[in-house]
Structure formats: C-alpha cells, structure tokens
C-alpha cells in the first residue's frame, strides 16, 4: 500500500495516530527518498563538476540526473535547480527582470499570489520603477478575468499562481497564457501547488517560466526548479556569481557558462537532487491523476460536511483544483481549533498561509487549512470531520 511507504505516518502525536493534513505546506517522504539520500551520503558524497575521481563522477551524475528527469517529465528546454519556488521566482526577478525591465514597464500579478510571487516584484518595482497591476479575486474565489484583460494592456510579464495554496482553485492558465502571449508578455507560473497534483508538457503549455519545489511532491526540502523556455533563457543575465557558473575568470573579468550552470553558482544541493530524482521516479509508480480524483472527492466531501457544521469554507473543489479545504468557524478561534486538533494527532495549518493580500480581499485574517495528499485516506477525512463536530458541539 502506498501509505505504508512513509515511515513517519506510523508515529503517534500526543498519544494518537498522526493524521497529517498539512500537505500544502510540505509533504512527507517515502522510504525510497530517505534511502536515496542516505545512500548518496554513505557511498558517493563528493563535489560536482570538479574532479575526475569516481566519487565526484557519481555525485555529478546524481545531481545531473535530477535535471534530466525534470526535463523529461515536464518536456522542458531548460531546468535550473534552485532552493525552491521562492528562489526560482527571485531568480527570474534578478536574472530576467533586471535585464529586461525598466521604469514604466508593467508586471501583472494577481491577488491570489503567495508572498513569494509578490515580494520579489515589489522589490524590483521599488528599484526600477516597474508598475505592478494586481488582478482581483471575485467572490466565487476565481480571478476576475475581465480585469485581467484590462490589466494586460502594455504588460511585459504576467505572474500567476497555478493553484492557490489557500483556496485550492486552479487558475485558467491556458487562457491566461494565450491572452498574455497575444500582447507579447512573458508568463511566469508559480506551480508550487499545481505540479504535486498534475503534470504538464511545458513546451506545449506556452509559459516562459515555471517555478516549483520538491518538498511539496514527496521530495526533500531545500531544492526546487525553474523551467524556462530557450528564448527566455537566452534573455537571462547571471544573478549570483561564483564557482561553477563561469567559463573563465581572469583579473580583468569573467566569462560565463552557457547552460543552466550559469545560474547555479557554488556547490549545489547534491543530496537533495538525488532525493528529488527518487521522489519523481516514485511518483511514476502510481497514477497521479487517479489519486488526485480520489483526493478531490475526499476534499469536497469534507468541505460539504464542514458547511453542515456551520463553518465558512473558502475555495472550490472542481476536478482540476487542489485537495485543500480552508475553513473558519464564526465563533471558534482558528488557533484554538488547530491546538485542539493537534492534541488529537491532527496536523493542520492556520494563519495567513503567506497570502495576506488574498485574505485581505476575502475580509479575513486567516483560515484553518486541511490539505490532502496521496497517502491520505477517506478514514482520516472522516476522523477529521468527527473531531471537528465534537469541537463545535463543545465550544460553539
Ligand atoms: C503557491 C505557492 N507558491 C510559492 C510557495 C513557496 O514555496 P517554497 O517555500 O518551497 O519556496 C508556496 C509554499 O507554500 C506556495 O504554496
């Protein structure tokens, strides 16, 4: 059984079996990922791209195999390995934004963005005088597409979250990309929550940049990627300088690598790359689409039950949305609710989920969020609803 491959799911929390429902924050790791990283450090640890000895060769192969796997899985021209989604977006802001954008240029964002797809652009805006336009979120938790079309006028870059980490809503990416391309804007997709539950053919998708993190898809923390089309890649200037990203260095100046290494200065995340490859291979051992359908069924059932308990539920659970249920009770404090759940072994998240502009738009300061992933079961969802029913009966 898929679930049995996750050692952490055997543990107890506060004397109760762990029910881990904080998957939108980070997912758990199967044994194959733990073994791959342990094996790497036990048998092959060395630096990459630097020496001819056997261990260095194995380390280089381990690191580069992650890039090859990503390119193959997502059919991408270029895959730059970063520390995660956040660094991938900051890399675009530095390497592409600072090279291509000037005062008066327009970046279109949405109110649904995670802070990591807002703050780098605000910093660039302050530095360069770039104009930021935010597409509002409507009362039905979707983007206001009419406002999006207006905002596109003169846009050089459109940055949009694939799937909201708060609402679970998957945005109409195909339409967004097509309309952005029609005005000549490049498109960046924050796919941190999207790629864990679906896959994509990056070349036919049409976006220029796609950022995501390994740890939200059963891989290790500390590694992620930026997929880039060749034409956008050609417009990127080096961001961090250092070892590995250069071709030659003299006192007078340096020349740079022409491949992805140009953006991977210094010793990279080798064990993490090995672990991510193992996670990506592991994800091919089951049908992600089927698992996703099962989880969406569970999430929409939970959402319905919670409404029945008097909770306000924020989000949508259509077939392409994420299995994320954000909710609030009108009178029970969300932090108290999370503590009560934790005391019974349930791990959920509370707070603003790094999406303060979205919550501001919704007129709230935070939610309780239960997010499901491939190892979660219907029984766990039923246990959560039972627990919440008990809390409401006792405290409301
Ligand atoms: C939609 C979205 N974007 C970006 C991020 C940032 O990812 P990371 O912290 O792995 O860089 C997250 C993480 O929660 C997210 O959910």
- Tell me whether residue 82 is in a domain: yes
Residue 114 C-alpha to ligand 1 middle, in angstroms?
A: 7
CATH code at position 362? 3.90.1150.10
Q: Is 131 left (phi over 0), alpha (psi -120 to 50) or beta?
A: beta
pLDDT digits (tens, 9 = 90+) for 127-154: 999 999 999 999 999 999 999 999 999 9
Are residues 190 and 221 located together in one domain of the fold? yes
Expressed as residue numbers, the domain containing 233 is 32-283
Are residues 203 and 218 located together in one domain of the fold? yes
> What tokens were used for 35?
């073994």
- Tell me whether residue 131 is in a domain: yes
| Residue at a domain's end among 264, 283, 302 | 283
Are residues 246 and 301 located together in one domain of the fold? no
- Tell me whether residue 44 is in a domain: yes
pLDDT digits (tens, 9 = 90+) for 169-189: 999 999 999 999 999 999 999
* 282 has a pLDDT exceeding 90: yes
* 175: enclosing H helix or E strand: helix 173-182
Ligand 1 atom, smallest distance to 161 CA: 1
Mean per-residue pLDDT for 391-395?
96
Q: How many domains does the chain have?
A: 2
pLDDT digits (tens, 9 = 90+) for 108-133: 999 999 999 999 999 999 999 999 99
The whole-chain average pLDDT of the chain stands at 97
| Residue at a domain's end among 283, 305, 326 | 283
Are residues 38 and 64 located together in one domain of the fold? yes
Mean per-residue pLDDT for 205-222?
98
> Residues lining ligand 1, CB < 6 A?
84-86, 114, 116, 161, 165, 190, 192-193, 213, 224
Residue 85 C-alpha to ligand 1 middle, in angstroms?
A: 6
Q: How far apart are CA 25 and CA 372, in angstroms?
A: 11
- Tell me whether residue 26 is in a domain: no
Residue 322 C-alpha to ligand 1 middle, in angstroms?
A: 14
Ligand 1 atom, smallest distance to 216 CA: 10
- Tell me whether residue 324 is in a domain: yes
**DSSP per-residue letters across 318-361:** -TTS-SEEEEE-SSS-HHHHHHHHHHTTEE-EEE-TT-HHHHHH
Are residues 306 and 233 located together in one domain of the fold? no
* 50 has a pLDDT exceeding 90: no
**pLDDT value for 51:** 86
| Residue at a domain's end among 283, 302, 322 | 283
pLDDT digits (tens, 9 = 90+) for 347-386: 999 999 999 999 999 999 999 999 999 999 999 999 999 9
354 is catalytic: yes
């Amino acid at each position: 059984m898929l679930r049995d491959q996750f050692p952490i799911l055997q543990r107890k929390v506060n004397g109760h079996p762990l029910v881990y429902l904080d998957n939108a924050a980070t997912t758990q790791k199967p044994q194959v990922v733990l073994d791959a990283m342990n094996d790497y450090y036990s048998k092959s640890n060395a630096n990459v791209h630097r020496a001819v000895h056997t261990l260095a060769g194995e380390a280089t192969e381990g690191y580069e195999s992650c890039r090859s796997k990503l390119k193959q899985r997502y059919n991408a021209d270029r895959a730059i390995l970063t520390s995660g989604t956040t660094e991938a977006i900051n890399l675009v802001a530095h390497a592409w934004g600072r090279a291509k954008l000037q005062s008066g240029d327009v970046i279109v964002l949405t109110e649904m963005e995670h802070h990591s797809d807002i703050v780098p652009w605000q910093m660039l805006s302050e530095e360069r005088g770039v104009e930021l336009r935010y597409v509002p979120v409507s009362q039905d938790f979707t983007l206001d597409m009419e406002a999006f079309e207006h905002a596109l006028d003169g846009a050089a870059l459109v940055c949009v979250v694939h799937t909201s980490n708060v609402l679970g809503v998957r945005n109409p990416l195909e339409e967004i990309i097509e309309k952005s391309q029609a005005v000549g804007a490049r498109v960046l997709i924050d796919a941190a929550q999207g790629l864990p539950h679906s896959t994509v053919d990056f070349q036919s998708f049409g976006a220029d940049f796609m950022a995501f993190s390994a740890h939200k898809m059963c891989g290790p923390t500390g590694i992620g990627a930026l997929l880039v089309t060749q034409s956008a890649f050609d417009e990127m200037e080096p961001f961090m300088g250092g070892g590995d990203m250069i071709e030659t260095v003299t006192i007078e100046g340096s020349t740079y690598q022409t491949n992805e290494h140009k953006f991977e200065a210094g010793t990279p995340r080798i064990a993490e790359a090995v672990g991510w490859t193992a996670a990506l291979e592991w994800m091919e051992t089951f049908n992600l689409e089927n698992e996703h359908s099962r989880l969406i069924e569970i999430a929409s059932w939970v959402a319905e039950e919670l409404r029945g308990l008097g909770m306000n539920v924020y989000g949508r659970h259509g077939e392409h949305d994420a299995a994320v249920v954000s909710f609030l009770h009108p009178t029970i404090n969300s932090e108290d609710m999370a503590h009560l759940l934790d005391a019974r072994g349930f791990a959920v998240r509370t707070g603003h989920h790094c999406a303060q502009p979205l919550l501001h738009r919704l007129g709230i300061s935070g939610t309780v969020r239960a997010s499901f992933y491939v190892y979660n079961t219907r029984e766990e969802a039923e246990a959560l609803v039972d627990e919440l029913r008990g809390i409401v009966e006792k405290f409301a």
